[in-house]
Chains A and B, each alone.
Chain A
Amino acid sequence: MTQQATYSAGPSAVPQADDTLPARRPSSLRRFLERPSNAIFAALALLIVAAAILAPWITPFGYAEIDLLARHQPPSWSHWMGTDQFGRDVLTRVLYGARISLLVGFSSIAIAMVLGTLVGTVAAYVGGIVDDVLMRLIDILMSVPGVVLALAIVAVLEPSLINVIIALSVIRVSQFARVTRGASMVVMKQDYVSAGRVIGMSGSRIISRHILPNIMGPIIVLATVRFGNAILAEATLSFLGVGIQPPEASWGVLIADGYESLFIAPWVSIFPGLALFVTMLAFNMLGDGLRDHFDPSSRTA
């Protein structure tokens, strides 16, 4: 009898979802950060974002401050990353470049996430011809390599910050749509969705109340994993001269600036590239950590 009592105490706590749900969130974040690698890369990502925001207070130079007497200076105590062909401080430009690179990365991923999720959930929920048409469109978008499609879009729209963000959002929508569609299909087979239908909930309500909360995991993982790719794509476009236009400086613009003088002053290209590397590393690892966190069976590390 006593054994029976202790036995039932455990499972009986589970059905009371109202008690356990609000308490799960902080503990989930805590569990995530308990893995040292997650904590390290989360801190690194925060540090990069902070450096971008605080750029004007970190460096004594202006990002377009020209000093023709100090052209192509190698790294030194006064210029930690050296100077470029106009004597501009490379570290300063890397810090300011982070603002544009991160801005483009965050906004293009956010737009792609919202649009892609909308397309994916609607395709899964409505099904039939709507699903077919949307998925064929996604197939077409995915049949052109992302960077090539982005190049074509920016070339048509004319290179500018906004147009780069638009192009990079367009090429990512398809991935978010596919992932959310797949995940929504799984969720829609659950009893609580049928129950919602039976009691007469509207489609938008079922999507927002039942489907979306249950597919947030894969969406967040995809957004984080793809963030590195998004800033790489921006850098690639800008490097090729069809992205952010000088005098605005993203990391891609800086690497292109240094390309001219690669053999005389390699640091002008090397350091912005390293910044890109560290940022991609931090967000890739964070994404991997999140994936393991949401789906421990996919653990690869």
Chain B
Amino acid sequence: MPFDMVLRRLLLAVPTLFGVALLVFLLGELSPGDPAAIALGLDYESGGTADPAQLQAMREQMGLNRPVMERFFDWLGGFLSGDLGQSVVNPALSVSEIMLTALPTTLILTFGTMLVAVLVGIPLGLLSAVYRGGIVDYLARIISIAGSATPTFWFALVLMLVFAYLWPIFPLGGALQDYGLAAIILPVMAVAMHPAALITRLTRAGMLDVLSQDFTRTARAKGLNPRVVVFRHGLRNALIPIITVIGFQLGGIMGGTVAVEAVFSLRGLGKVLLDAIYEHDLYVAQTAVLTIATVFIVVNLLVDILYFVIDPRLRTAQTR
């Protein structure tokens, strides 16, 4: 394992994260709402009928009259140290607490989706390639074509209608804490549809490509067990582009999660972000976007590392 390579990626992630933080913060600055007015429960755009003195006092209290960059570094520091103060709209809750309670749901949804997509996509693509032109191949291709055209949030509604209402084997929605894993099975199925379809396609294409190469033909010709040929020679080589694609799909997965969390009332980071947008809770919204981006960057980093674990060629290329 090339440690320096991992370290390099890790170091590259730092300026990227800083850039994201700055982007999110400046976006918030452009927002027409006045956080002080919102904190006072006033009409968020004009400040309504606020007493100017009261509004000014609130701005003072919230530190809104300090320079932009000072507030930015304060916020970033708070984000990194986990001390972000209280939510403006719900003063009883601390912002860090809101993020930390939502984080597990988002992580479970994200990793669950990746796992399901891989567990469905790879075997299906493998069978499809090995029995090329057969009925399995035909079915797998229809599934993968239809799957990548299915709107995620709409599919979530259909799953909910069928498996939570018409045939109620899963809860209609609700928190992970209340229903356990049953609460995330339908959401994961909904979000996994796209990546599973894509992985099926890529596994099939990759396997067909690898199985027609000289080294597979040699392996077969020297009388190796066909199963060994398919798995050790075929799949291991076909896996590399698949892992790249899982990385690319991560954005889609985390985006899909936002809508699906809303459908199933799961309180993950997506739901937190949406609620904050509805309530004009700027501070929470910004923090939620930055938290989602952090998860996104970290998981991408993990995928990169996985890449090096699986492909020995990359390891030697880097250590040389």
B residues 63-91 near A (Cβ < 8 Å) are none
| Any A CB within 8 A of the CB of B283 | no
Q: How far is the CA of A255 from the CA of B263 in the complex (A)?
A: 11
- B149 engages A277 (CB within 8 Å): yes
Question: Whole-angstrom distance from the CB of A218 to the nearest CB of chain B?
Answer: 16
Binds B, one of A82-90, A108-116, A280-288: A280-288
Question: Whole-angstrom distance from the CB of B309 to the nearest CB of chain A?
Answer: 23
| Any B CB within 8 A of the CB of A276 | yes
- B158 engages A280 (CB within 8 Å): no
Q: How far is the CA of A284 from the CA of B292 in the complex (A)?
A: 28
Residue of A nearest to B276 (CB): A155
Interface string of B242-285 (1 = CB under 8 A from A): 00000000111011101100110000001001100110000001
- B289 engages A136 (CB within 8 Å): no
Residue of A nearest to B150 (CB): A277
| Any A CB within 8 A of the CB of B240 | no
Q: How far is the CA of A228 from the CA of B149 in the complex (A)?
A: 8
Q: A139-B16, A259-B157 are in contact. Are A240 and B258 (CB under 8 A)?
A: yes
Q: How far is the CA of A241 from the CA of B278 in the complex (A)?
A: 9
| Any B CB within 8 A of the CB of A232 | yes
Q: Which of B27, B30, B251 contacts A146 (CB 8 A)?
A: B251
Tell me how many residue pairs across A and B have CB atoms closer than 8 Å: 141
A residues 110-148 near B (Cβ < 8 Å) are 136-137, 139-148
Q: How far is the CA of A137 from the CA of B16 in the complex (A)?
A: 9
Q: Which residues of B contact A152 (CB under 8 A)?
A: 24, 27, 273, 285, 289
- B19 engages A136 (CB within 8 Å): yes
User: Chain B binding site: helix, strand, loop or mixed by DSSP?
Assistant: helix
Q: Which residues of A contact B20 (CB under 8 A)?
A: 140, 143-144
Q: How far is the CA of A233 from the CA of B161 in the complex (A)?
A: 22
Q: Which residues of B contact A153 (CB under 8 A)?
A: 27
- Residues of chain A at interface, number, CB under 8 A: 47
Question: Whole-angstrom distance from the CB of A137 to the nearest CB of chain B?
Answer: 8
Question: Whole-angstrom distance from the CB of B15 to the nearest CB of chain A?
Answer: 7
Q: A156-B28, A241-B278, A284-B148 are in contact. Are A143 and B273 (CB under 8 A)?
A: no
Question: Whole-angstrom distance from the CB of B88 to the nearest CB of chain A?
Answer: 15
| Any B CB within 8 A of the CB of A4 | no
Q: Which residues of A contact B145 (CB under 8 A)?
A: 281, 284-285
Q: Which residues of B contact A147 (CB under 8 A)?
A: 254-256, 258-259
- B27 engages A284 (CB within 8 Å): no
- B278 engages A236 (CB within 8 Å): no
Interface string of B152-189 (1 = CB under 8 A from A): 11110110110001000000000000000000000000
Instruction: Give residues in A with beta carbon < 8 Å to B.
Output: 136-137, 139-149, 151-153, 155-158, 228-229, 232-233, 235-236, 239-242, 255, 259, 262-263, 266, 269-270, 273, 276-278, 280-281, 284-285, 300-301
Instruction: Give residues in B with beta carbon < 8 Å to A.
Output: 15-17, 19-20, 23-24, 27-28, 30-32, 141, 145-146, 148-155, 157-158, 160-161, 165, 201-202, 204-205, 250-252, 254-256, 258-259, 262-263, 270, 273-274, 277-278, 285, 289, 292-293, 296-297
Some 9 contacts from A to B, beta carbons below 8 A apart, are A143-B297, A145-B252, A146-B251, A147-B254, A148-B254, A155-B31, A157-B30, A236-B256, A300-B202
